[in-house]
């Protein structure tokens, strides 16, 4: 688990700020009030939306507009510019006082999300990747879900997939489920950052996104949550997820290497039930064998040996 940090202690991460905060009101609601306050009431912000971005000026405007055009308005929109060198600064300047901008040197999507989470004031956090966008009812549906499920800590919606400007249907292995999905989420990530809404207090328990992972940082996060808590599904496609462009983390080679790291982390915590432990070990063994075989084919024999032996070394303690 990542070291616990105060959400206010962010100056080590964020170099410069361009704050254009929405008005702050009275003290934040207690947990008993979570999900029960309407947007733009006399309470502190209920929903904070965080968009991390790096050199995606061509997509970012639509993502921002999709937040600003929600039928249930967010109370706070934070865009974290992770060192962009394209026209992102000019685009953000056009939104004047409608959002908050955090600027930092390029540190990766996890550091960008974490900077936004630390600066946020909402009871709920909704994440949106800058190449995706929401349909107008997204926040309304999720707020209504939390209002009717006061014990829930996280939910996601269904999504529509667009690849290279064409709609595609997810394969059966990408099917989303609702509830205790830890075992179903082990083979590959079944939770989308752009589709989730999370009670902010949950990050204090499980930690923030792992900034040491260049990819699969979301897979790591969902494992840390789903072993203990149900991840609920609003069974309506309210997110448009775009793919096919070259800078996507999901197109990075050797993704299983980072999933393996996430599995090793969750196994080392000693938090899993016997059934979860076995399922995670079985998945780790399969992924290590596949990755090791790939290393061997590429002549990386020492690396292959490490991954072949990794499951046994973990089982041996």
Ramachandran category for residue 299: left, alpha or beta (phi over 0 → left; psi -120 to 50 → alpha): left
Written as six digits, the tokens of 31 are: 């947990």
Ramachandran category for residue 96: left, alpha or beta (phi over 0 → left; psi -120 to 50 → alpha): left
125 close to 117: Cβ distance less than 8 angstroms? yes
144/272 Cα distance (integer angstroms): 31
221/211 Cα distance (integer angstroms): 11
Per-residue pLDDT, 317: 73
Q: What pLDDT band is residue 248 in, cutting at 50, 70 and 90?
A: low
90/68 Cα distance (integer angstroms): 18
**Taking the model in full, what pTM does it have?**
0.83
191/181 Cα distance (integer angstroms): 10
Q: What pLDDT band is residue 249 in, cutting at 50, 70 and 90?
A: low
SS3 237: strand
Question: What number is the average pLDDT over the span 159-171?
Answer: 88
What one-character-per-residue DSSP string does 125-143 give? Answer: EEE--TT-EE-TTHHHHHH
Phi/psi of residue 120, nearest 5 degrees: -75, 155
Distances in whole angstroms, Cα of residue 256 to Cα of each of 118, 307, 314: 29, 11, 17
Is 60 exceeded by the pLDDT of residue 240?
yes
Per-residue pLDDT, 245: 55
pLDDT in tens, 28-62: 333 333 333 333 444 544 899 999 999 999 999 99
Question: What number is the average pLDDT over the span 79-86?
Answer: 96
Is 70 exceeded by the pLDDT of residue 234?
yes
Distances in whole angstroms, Cα of residue 58 to Cα of each of 53, 91, 128, 203: 11, 10, 15, 31
Is 90 exceeded by the pLDDT of residue 250?
no
Mean of the per-residue pLDDT values for the chain?
86
Per-residue pLDDT, 54: 96
Per-residue pLDDT, 27: 32
Q: What pLDDT band is residue 14 in, cutting at 50, 70 and 90?
A: very low
Question: What number is the average pLDDT over the span 110-127?
Answer: 97
Is 80 exceeded by the pLDDT of residue 119?
yes
Do β-strands 232-243 and 133-134 pair in parallel, antiparallel, or remain unpaired? Answer: antiparallel
Q: What pLDDT band is residue 246 in, cutting at 50, 70 and 90?
A: low
Is 60 exceeded by the pLDDT of residue 282?
yes
Distances in whole angstroms, Cα of residue 165 to Cα of each of 60, 61, 171: 16, 17, 18
188/210 Cα distance (integer angstroms): 17
Residues 165-172: contacts with CB under 8 Å, at least 24 apart: 165/244
Per-residue pLDDT, 33: 38
């Amino acid at each position: 688990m990542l070291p616990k940090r105060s959400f206010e202690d962010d100056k080590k991460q964020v170099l410069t700020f361009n704050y254009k905060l929405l008005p702050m009101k009275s003290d934040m609601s207690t947990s008993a009030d979570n999900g029960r306050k309407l947007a733009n009431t006399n309470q502190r912000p209920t929903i904070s939306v965080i968009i991390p971005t790096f050199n995606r000026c061509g997509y970012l405007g639509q993502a921002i507009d999709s937040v600003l055009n929600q039928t249930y308005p967010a109370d706070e929109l934070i865009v974290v510019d992770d060192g962009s060198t394209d026209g992102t600064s000019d685009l953000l300047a056009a939104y004047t006082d409608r959002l908050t901008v955090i600027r930092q040197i390029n540190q990766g999507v996890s550091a960008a999300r974490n900077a936004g989470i630390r600066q946020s004031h909402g009871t709920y956090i909704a994440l949106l990747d800058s190449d995706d966008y929401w349909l107008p009812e997204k926040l309304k549906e999720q707020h209504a879900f939390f209002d009717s499920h006061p014990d829930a800590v996280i939910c996601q919606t269904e999504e529509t997939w667009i690849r290279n400007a064409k709609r595609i249907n997810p394969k059966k292995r990408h099917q989303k489920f609702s509830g205790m999905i830890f075992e179903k989420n082990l083979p590959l990530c079944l939770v989308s950052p752009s589709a989730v809404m999370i009670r902010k207090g949950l990050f204090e328990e499980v930690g923030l996104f792992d900034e040491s992972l260049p990819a699969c940082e979301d897979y790591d996060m969902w494992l840390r949550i789903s072993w203990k808590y149900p991840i609920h599904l609003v069974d309506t496609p309210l997110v448009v997820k775009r793919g096919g462009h070259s800078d996507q983390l999901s197109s990075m080679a050797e993704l299983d290497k980072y999933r393996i790291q996430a599995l090793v982390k969750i196994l080392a915590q000693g938090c899993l039930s016997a059934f979860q432990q076995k399922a995670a070990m079985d998945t780790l063994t399969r992924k290590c064998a596949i990755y090791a075989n790939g290393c061997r084919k590429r002549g990386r024999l020492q690396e292959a040996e490490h991954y072949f032996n990794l499951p046994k070394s973990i089982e041996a303690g």
